[in-house]
Structure 1
Amino acid sequence: MQYTLRDFLADQPIPEIELLTGERDFSVIPLESVSVQEMPVDDFIRPNELVLSTALGCDDDPDMLERLIRDVASARAAAILLAFRDPRFRVPNRVLDYANGAGLPVFVIPWKHRFADISEHVAKRILDGKTKAYQKIQTELFSLYFDSKPLDAAAEAVCGFFQAPAVITDKEANVRGVCRAFPGSGESFAQYARINIGINDILSGYLWLGRSGAGDSRANDPELIEKYVSFPLSMWFNKERIEDMVRMKFKNDFVWNLATGNYESVEEMARQGEKLRFDLNKPYTCITIHAAPKAPSAGERKYSPQAAENAFALESILAQEAKAMRLSVMYAERSPEFILFVENPACEPVRQVEAYANAVSARLSAGFPGCAFFFGISEITPDIHDFSRLYGNAVLALRYCMNAKGKKNSFTYKDTKEAQIISTVSHDPDIREMARRTLEKLLEYDRSSKADLLGTLGAFIRCNYNTSLTARELHIHRQSLLYRLEKIEALTEMSLKCHRDLFLLEVCTRIFLDY
Structure 2
Amino acid sequence: MGLTVKDVVQLPIMGTSKVKAGKELLDKKIIEWISVIEIPVENFVRKNEFVLSTGIGCEDDPLLLEEFVKDIIDSGASVLAFATGRYVYDVPDRIIELAKKRDFIIIDIPWEVRFGDILHIVLHEIHKEKQGERQQAEDVRQELINCVLHNKGLQDISRILYKHVQMPLAITDNTKTIRSNQHFSQKLLQTISDEKGQIQQIPPSDILFSDHPLYHQIEEYMVDNQIVYQLPIINNQSKEGILHFQPKDREKLTWFILNVLDHALTACALYFVKENAIEMTEVRLRDNFILDLAKKHTEVTNKLISKAQLLGYDLTRPYICIVGHVSHQDENKPHKKGGKDSPPTSSLQSMNYYIQKVITNAGKVLHRKTMTTFDENEVIIYLEADHHPYMETANQFLDVIERRLYELLNGIDLSWGIATHKDGHYAFYNSYEEAKTALDIGKQQYGPGERTFFSDTRINRLLMALSQESEIENIVKDTLQPLLDYDKKRQTDLIYTFMIYNKYKGNVSQTARALNLHRQSLLHRLRNIESLTQLSLVDSDDLFLLELSVRLWMLRKFD
Normalising by structure 1, we get a TM-score of: 0.64
Correspondence for 2:483 among 435, 447, 453: 435
When residues 21 and 472 of structure 1 are mapped into structure 2, their CA distance, relative to the original with a 3 A threshold, is: farther
SS at match of 1:28: coil
| TM superposition shift of 1:29 | 1.8
2:319 touches 2:420 (CA, 8 Å); kept in 1?
Answer: yes
Choose the corresponding residue for 2:264, options 229, 254, 278.
229
Residue 186 (structure 2) aligns with:
184
Number of residue-to-residue matches in the alignment = 478
Q: Which amino acid aligns with 1:383?
A: K
SS in 2 for 1:231: helix
Partners in 2 of 1:252 and 1:511 — Cα distance?
A: 36
- Percent sequence identity is 17
Which residue in 2 is equivalent to 1:341? 382
One-letter code aligned to 1:207: L
Q: Which residue identity is paired with 1:184? A: Q
Q: Is the 8 A contact 1:285 1:344 kept in 2?
A: no
Counting only pairs closer than 5 Å after superposition, residues 10-49 of structure 1 correspond to structure 2 as 21-22=20-21, 24=23, 26-31=26-31, 48=48
Quote the RMSD (CA, aligned, Å): 6.3
Cα distance in 2 for partners of 1:409, 1:318 equals 18
- SS across alignment from 1:254: helix
What displacement does 1:229 show? 0.4
- Tell me which of 216, 221, 231 is aligned to 1:195: 231
Q: Which residue of 1 aligns with 2:295?
A: 260
The CA distance in 2 between the partners of 1:37 and 1:88, in whole Å, is 12
Q: CA separation of 1:54/1:396 partners in 2, compared to 1, >3 Å: closer, same or farther?
A: farther
Distance 1:216 1:278, change over 3 A: same
Q: What amino acid does structure 2 have at the position aligned with 1:28? A: K
Task: Classify 1:148/1:396 alpha carbon distance in 2 versus 1 (closer, same or farther; 3 Å).
Answer: same
* 3-state SS, counterpart of residue 284 of structure 1: strand
Aligned to 1:322: 363
Is the Cα–Cα contact under 8 Å of residues 193 and 208 in structure 1 kept in the other structure?
A: yes
Structure 2 match to 1:94 = 94
Aligned partners of 1:463 and 1:470 also within 8 Å: yes
The residue that corresponds to 1:171 in the other structure is 174
Q: What CA deviation, in whole Å up to 9, does each residue of 1:6-61 have, x standing for no partner?
A: 6778999x99x98885584745322468999998979x998646679999997886
C-alpha spacing 1:310/1:328, structure 2 compared with 1 (3 Å): same
Q: Contact 2:480–2:549 (CA<8 Å) still a contact in 1?
A: no
Deviation at 1:427, TM superposition (A): 11
Equivalent position amino acid for 1:175 in 2 = I
Deviation at 1:173, TM superposition (A): 1.8
Q: Distance in 1 between matches of 2:506 and 2:248?
A: 68
CA distance in 1, matches of 2:511, 2:81: 82
Task: Tell me the equivalent position of 2:211.
Answer: none
For 2:547 and 2:457, the matched residues in 1 are separated by 18
Secondary structure of 2:294's aligned partner: helix
Gaps of 5+ in 1: 296-305, 447-451, 475-480
With over 3 angstroms needed to count, the CA separation of the structure-2 counterparts of 1:349 and 1:431, relative to structure 1, is same
Is 1:381 aligned with 2:429? no
Distance verdict in 2 for CA 1:217–1:53, change over 3 Å: farther
Superposition pairs of residues 91-490 of structure 1, within 5 angstroms: 93-106=93-106, 131-142=134-145, 151-179=154-182, 181-185=183-187, 188=190, 190=192, 191=223, 192-212=228-248, 216-218=252-254, 225-226=261-262, 228-238=263-273, 240-245=275-280, 247-261=282-296, 263=298, 265-275=300-310, 276-288=312-324, 315-333=356-374, 338-354=379-395, 356-357=397-398, 359-360=400-401, 363=404, 377-385=416-424, 386-395=427-436, 408=449, 417=460, 430-435=478-483, 484-485=518-519, 487-489=521-523
Q: Residue 326 of structure 2 contacts residue 413 of structure 2 at CA under 8 Å; is this kept in 1? A: yes
Distance 1:407 1:391, change over 3 A: closer
Where do residues 68-87 of structure 1 align in structure 2 (5 Å cutoff)?
69-70=69-70, 72-73=72-73, 77-80=77-80
> 1:282: how far off?
0.7
Larger radius of gyration: 2
2:55 and 2:511 map into 1 onto residues whose CA distance is 82
In 2, the alpha carbon distance for the partners of 1:460 and 1:64 equals: 99
From the superposition, tell whether residues 257 and 509 of structure 1 become closer, same or farther in structure 2 (CA, over 3 Å). Answer: closer
Give the secondary structure class of the aligned counterpart of 2:420: coil
Deviations 1:409-432 (A, max 9, x none): 987767895997999979965444
* CA displacement 1:453-512 (0-9 Å, x = unmatched): 9989877877999999999999xxxxxx6x735642354249999998699589779989
Q: Which runs of 5+ in 2 are unaligned?
A: 193-222, 332-346, 531-535
Name the CA shift for 1:98/1:245 in 2 (closer, same or farther; >3 Å): same
Tell me the distance in 1 between the aligned counterparts of 2:191 and 2:136.
Answer: 25
**How far did 1:225 drift?**
2.5
Letter in 2 for 1:327: R
The answer (yes or no) to whether the contact 2:4–2:27 under 8 Å persists in 1 is yes
- Given that 2:323 and 2:416 are in contact with CA atoms closer than 8 Å, whether structure 1 keeps it comes out as yes
Letter in 1 for 2:358: I
CA distance in 2 between partners of 1:121 and 1:313 (Å): 59
In 1, Cα distance between equivalents of 2:511 and 2:71: 75
